[in-house]
Amino acid sequence: MELLDLPWWALVLVPLGLTHITIAAVTIFLHRHQAHRALSLHPIVSHFFRFWLWLTTGMVTKGWVAVHRKHHAKCETQEDPHSPRTFGIRTVLLRGAELYRVEATNAETLEKYGVGTPDDWLERHLYGKRPMLGIAILLVSELALFGPIGLTIWAVQMLWIPLLAAGVINGIGHYWGYRSFATRDASRNILPWGILIGGEELHNNHHAYSTSARLSNRWWEFDIGWAYIRSMEIVRLAKVHRVAPKLRFVAGKAACDVQTVQAVIMHRFDVLARFAKTLRRTAEAELRQLRLSDGRESRYATMKRAVKHSLHMPSGELPPLEREALDRALLSSPVLQTICRMRQDLMSLWERSSASKEQLVSQLEAWCQRAEASGIGALGDFSRKLRCYG
């Protein structure tokens, strides 16, 4: 006989509440605290999350952190532990947790990317050595508390993290959604309201500013994990180290200076996203002209997709068919040539790490002058806005 005799609605709320605590532990403790050091946690809070994750998931902190850090270091390459580009969206969505477990057995990954994770007696002799014991204890406890329905509650908890965190975030978060920042990877924000998965829905924001404790960036986005962190910070159970910097504009600024360069480099993914948004209509107008002169719909569709993608990623990273279509478009349109070249030249600004501040200012000013003299209205508008960064 069960110890708790709950009505049906309570039996629905219980697993939702328990799984939400697990989600909070993953996003706050494993992800933002351990993997990226975006905040510090009070030892009591930190150990509670470690214990809870051992009980509800059996995940080992070092393994999870090492795999996630490698994901950022090798994102969208053959070495990425769970990229949809490599494994396919179906595999990552349905078998994401398995991909994590496989990579977590890689001794090289653990040694290189698992530095700084807990290594005390509990981790060595209990949490890390006997991960399945916690899950077994949870099963027995829930059968005792809720009776036979406890098995269902336990099963929901066992599926929650593998499906939502490992599957949805690592799969759909690199496949479908909106992009606020033109990062070099395929990361996307699944939803602007990060509630069900603790804020991890804002995945593109995270890849743009990976060491930020806050995953929301726009005023209309909500990160419930950040709400929890701020609440803990108020009562001194947490301390935030880093958040994504706010972009400032200086109205009427007519020339680039050191502050402009620093702001452009710091907000480079936002700069590229604004470039794409500003030049999109100009590129589409050029494509319509090419469509009228060519007349072949299939070729136009591929060309349109290639030009759209080239505004968000380096042309060298396009699939071969799109790369060919982009080359045809560039041969036929001087305007598209200019847009593509100016985007590449802008990116090279933050890739020239050996240049002095004065050289970078000169290069950015020269870029702006070229943009404003190009005869492309949208490009000139973007340049004048860029001068106001800082």
> Residue 119 is encoded by which pair of tokens?
């290594």
Q: Are residues 229 and 275 in the same domain?
A: no
- Residue 309 confidence (pLDDT): 83
Burial 227-254 (b: 16+ CB within 10 A, else e): bbbeebeeeebbebebbbeeeeeeeebe
What does each C-alpha distance from 285 to 231, 280, 291, 322, 335 come to in angstroms? 49, 9, 10, 19, 10
Would residue 252 count as lying in a domain? no
User: By the 8 A CB rule, do 170 and 147 touch?
Assistant: no
> Lowest-pLDDT range, 85-99, 109-123, 309-323, 342-356?
309-323
Cβ pair 221, 205 in contact under 8 A? yes
Q: What is the mean pLDDT of residues 258-273?
A: 94
Shared domain check, 357 and 265? yes
154 lies in the same domain as 283: no
Mean per-residue pLDDT, 361-381: 96
pLDDT value for 3: 75
Tokens (6 digits) for 186: 């395929």
Residues 79, 189 within the same domain = yes
Assess if residue 37 is contained within a domain: yes
Within 13 Å, how many C-alpha atoms sit on residue 87's CB side?
Answer: 23
- The pLDDT of 242-259, averaged and rounded, is 92
Same domain, 267 and 207: no
Instruction: Say whether both 232 and 270 belong to one domain.
Output: no
In-domain check, residue 250:
no
Number of folded domains that form the chain: 2
Instruction: Burial-class residue 94 by CB neighbours within 10 Å (0-12, 13-18, 19+).
Output: middle
Alpha carbons 289 and 19: distance in angstroms, whole number: 54
Locus of tokens 């910097």: 245
Q: Is residue 253 part of a domain?
A: no
For residue 245, tell me if it sits in a domain.
no
User: What's the average model confidence in pLDDT over 304-315?
Assistant: 80
Residue 295 has pLDDT above 70, yes or no: no
- 337-352 b/e (C-beta count within 10 Å ≥ 16 → b): ebbbebbeebbebeee
Look over the chain and give the mean of its residue pLDDT values, rounded to a whole number: 92
Confidence of residue 301 (pLDDT cuts 50, 70, 90): confident
User: Is the per-residue pLDDT at 315 higher than 70?
Assistant: no
Q: Work out the average pLDDT over 199-213.
A: 97
d(CA 321, CA 316): 12
* Beta pairing partners, 239: 40
pLDDT band at 38 (very low <50, low <70, confident <90, very high): very high
Q: What's the pLDDT score for residue 117?
A: 97
User: Do 213 and 221 contact (CB within 8 A), yes or no?
Assistant: no
Closest CA to 18 of 194, 157, 197, 200: 157
Residue where one domain finishes, among candidates 240, 272, 288: 240
Q: Which residue would you say has higher pLDDT here, 135 or 311?
A: 135
Distance, in Å, from the CA atom of 194 to the CA atom of 171, rounded to the nearest integer, reads 16
Q: Is 331 a domain residue?
A: yes
277 and 379, same domain (yes or no): yes
38 and 159, same domain (yes or no): yes
- Do 74 and 194 share a domain, yes or no? yes
Confidence of residue 353 (pLDDT cuts 50, 70, 90): low
Instruction: Indicate whether 236 pLDDT > 60.
Output: yes
296 — pLDDT class (breaks 50, 70, 90): low
Please say which residue of 183, 213, 240 terminates a domain: 240
Q: Is the pLDDT of residue 223 over 80?
A: yes
Question: Percentage of the chain with pLDDT > 70?
Answer: 96
| 89 & 18 share domain | yes
Range of the domain at 139: 8-240
Q: Which tokens is 365 given? A: 């000013």
Answer whether 352's CB lies under 8 Å from 340's CB: no
pLDDT band at 304 (very low <50, low <70, confident <90, very high): confident
229: pLDDT strictly greater than 70? yes
DSSP, collapsed to helix, strand or coil, labels residue 42 as coil
Burial of residue 295, with CB atoms counted within 10 A of its CB: 0-12 exposed, 13-18 middle, 19 or more buried: exposed
Q: Phi and psi at residue 353, in whole multiples of 5°?
A: -70, -20
Q: Are 224 and 262 in a shared domain?
A: no
**Tokens of residue 203, six digits:** 């995945």
Band (pLDDT 50/70/90 cuts) for residue 294 is low
User: Do residues 195 and 277 share a domain?
Assistant: no
Q: What is the pTM of this model?
A: 0.91
Q: How far apart are CA 81 and CA 106, in angstroms?
A: 11
Q: Are 39 and 229 in contact (CB under 8 A)?
A: yes
pLDDT at 155 over 80: yes
Band of the pLDDT at 237, cuts 50, 70, 90? very high
Model confidence at 350, pLDDT cuts 50, 70, 90, reads: confident
Does residue 224 sit within a domain?
Answer: yes
Residue 93's closest CA among 30, 175, 19, 38?
Answer: 175
Tens digit of each residue's pLDDT (9 = 90 or more) over 90-149:
999 999 899 999 999 999 999 999 999 999 999 999 999 999 999 999 999 999 999 999
Residue 2 domain-assigned (yes or no): no
Contact 306, 322 (CB under 8 A): yes
Tokens of 120: 């005390």
Range from 201-215, 298-312, 336-350 carrying the lowest mean pLDDT? 298-312
> Residue 30 carries which DSSP code?
I
Q: How far apart are the first and last CA of the chain?
A: 67
